Every structure is written in structure tokens, then in C-alpha cells.
Amino acid sequence: MAAAEPARAARRTLPTRLAAVAVGVSEATVRKWASRGKLTRHGTATRAEYDLEELTLLAAG
């Protein structure tokens, strides 16, 4: 019998405006990080969302 896979925590994503507020930067900075490949963009083509954990790690340096 195979071992059960550990449960993954649900990804907590935020729209651009809230992502910026959460880490204390401008919306433009969040978009720039994503365009430079420093931050993964989630969501749809018309609604960008960003992972809160990834944001906080990036903002912390």
C-alpha cells in the first residue's frame, strides 16, 4: 500500500492592490517584480493575483 501524500496548504493569493499593501510597496513594484520573474503571477489574464508567502519572502530581502 502506497503512503498517502501529505496535504498541501491552500495557496493564499491576493490581488495586486492588496498584495502591495500587505508588504508595504507600490502596486507598480509588485507588477515589476512579476515582470522581472522575481514573483509568480497567478490568477487570470485580466486579474493578477500573487502568493502572500512568496511576497513576504521577496519583500524581506
The C-alpha angle with vertex 8 and arms to 54 and 33, in degrees rounded to 5, equals 15
State residue 3's pLDDT score.
Answer: 59
User: Is residue 46, in this structure, part of any structural domain at all?
Assistant: yes
Instruction: Tell me how far CA of residue 17 lies from CA of 8, 29, 47, in angstroms.
Output: 26, 11, 11
Residue 10, C-beta contacts closer than 8 angstroms, at least 6 positions apart: none
State residue 37's pLDDT score.
Answer: 97
pLDDT one-digit tens code per residue, 17-29: 999 999 999 999 9
Look at residues 22, 6, 10 and name the one whose alpha carbon lies nearest to residue 59.
22
How many structural domains are present in the chain?
1
Contact 15/47 with Cβ under 8 angstroms? yes
> What is the domain range of residue 48?
13-60
pLDDT one-digit tens code per residue, 25-43: 999 999 999 999 999 999 9
pTM: 0.81
User: Is residue 19, in this structure, part of any structural domain at all?
Assistant: yes
